[in-house]
Structures are given as structure tokens and as C-alpha cells.
Amino acid sequence: MKWITYIKGRAPELTPLSYIEQSSTCLTVVDLFVLAIIMYEVLDPCYYSVLQVDVNASSSVIARAYRSKALQFHPDKNPTALPEQFQAITEAYEVLSDPEKRQLYDYYGPTLKPRLSETFARLAPLLLSLATGFIGSSLCTYNSSLSARATCGYEVGLMGVAGVFYCYRLGGKDGAKPQTKPKKEMLSLSDYVTITSVGLLIGNVSGWAASSIVLLCKVIVFGS
């Protein structure tokens, strides 16, 4: 999410129509990607753009920008200003002036709540088992000369990289330690059996191993 906020903060003046006019007649995948970000900005204005500050602006810069914008668009000072404008400025400052809220906003945005991260945390082992199973079957299909040991090695490597990244992301922003350490709880047997069974069914042994490694790593290091 932070890179989306960065792009929107750097180019707040872009609109879907202006971007299409600047682009070539044949829109590439990158163009569609940028258009999606611009549409995200149209539907949900970026707080940095509302205050017209850089995404890396300090607290003092944000405070000065808020005071300036509040005076400019306050209903008592400017009768022609829309109430929504002042409301957006107040909402933006409320989030960006609080370090914790700002950190969550940089990662999840105003519409994506941290609950989605919890949902992904539960689905990550299953998705990882699907990925390893599909990659393993693809390697065997398109490269019959590849030995089973090499295929297993690729899958284990993928599990390791994805598992480390998954657990690293749960540790906090940029690897920082969370302020409150989560309570460690044992993973329920039903959850373990359900997730690993699907991994075994679709990803064979490597899928089961992927699910098990990530689930156990999450429980031991960060709690369930």
C-alpha cells in the first residue's frame, strides 16, 4: 500500500482522462496499473494529497499544512467552501498526525483495514501450498529431464523464501518489533488438519509441507 500512497502523493494532479491523453494509443499493462491507482485516488482521495504534503513529510510540516488548509476552507472563514473539503482536511490531519494511524494508513490505506491482513494470515499457508504444488507439477510437465530431487529442492526453496517473508511481514513495519508482543497460542488441531489436508490434496507432499512449515513458524514466533 505504501508505494500506492507514494505514487498518489507524487502525482495528485493526474486524472484518468489526462493520463490516457498523455499515453500512447496502445495502453500497456503498466498503463492500466497506473490508471487503477488514479481511479483509487478519485474514489478515495489520498490524505497526503488533501494536505498537499510529501509522503515523507515530518509531523511539523503536516501540522503547518493542516493549519493553512483549515483556515482556507473553514466554513466561517470561507462561506463558498464546501463542507466536504473541510471534513476531508480534518480527517486527513487526524490520521497523519497520529504516528500509529499514519503507519496503518501507509500500509493499508483508508479503505483496506488491518482485518484484511488477518484474513491473509489465515489464508497464506493454503495459498503457499497451492503455489508449491502448481510449480512442482509445472516443472515436471515442461521439463521431464528434471529429477524429482531437483523439483523437490525448488519447492522447498520456494517454501523457505515465502515462509520467511510471510513471518517477517507479521513482525512489524520494516522488520521493526511490534509495540505489544502478541500472546502465543497453540494452533487448534482442526485448523491445522483442515489447511494441511487441502495442501496435501492439491500440492501433494510439498503442499502439505508448505502448510505445516508456515503454520508452525507463525505459531512459534508470533503466536496464532
User: Packing angle between helix 2-10 and helix 29-43, nearest 10 degrees?
Assistant: 80
pLDDT under 50: residue ranges of the chain: 1-17, 19-21, 23-43, 112-116, 166-187, 220-224
Supply the pTM of this predicted model: 0.38
The DSSP call for residue 110 is T
Q: Are 132 and 203 in contact (CB under 8 A)?
A: yes
User: Packing angle between helix 189-222 and helix 148-170, nearest 10 degrees?
Assistant: 70
Q: Are 80 and 42 in contact (CB under 8 A)?
A: no
Q: What is the pLDDT of residue 37?
A: 47
CA 183 – CA 171 distance, rounded (Å): 13
C-alpha separations of 83 from 73, 79, 96, 152, 207 in Å: 8, 9, 20, 61, 54
C-alpha cell at 195: 489447511
C-alpha separations of 93 from 12, 70, 114 in Å: 17, 10, 20
Domain architecture of the chain: domains with CATH: 2-108 (1.10.287.110), 114-222 (no CATH)
58-117 confidence digits (pLDDT tens): 999 999 999 999 989 888 888 888 888 898 899 899 989 999 888 888 776 665 444 445
Q: Are 187 and 215 in contact (CB under 8 A)?
A: yes
Give Cβ neighbours of residue 131 (< 8 Å, ≥ 6 apart). 158, 162, 203, 210
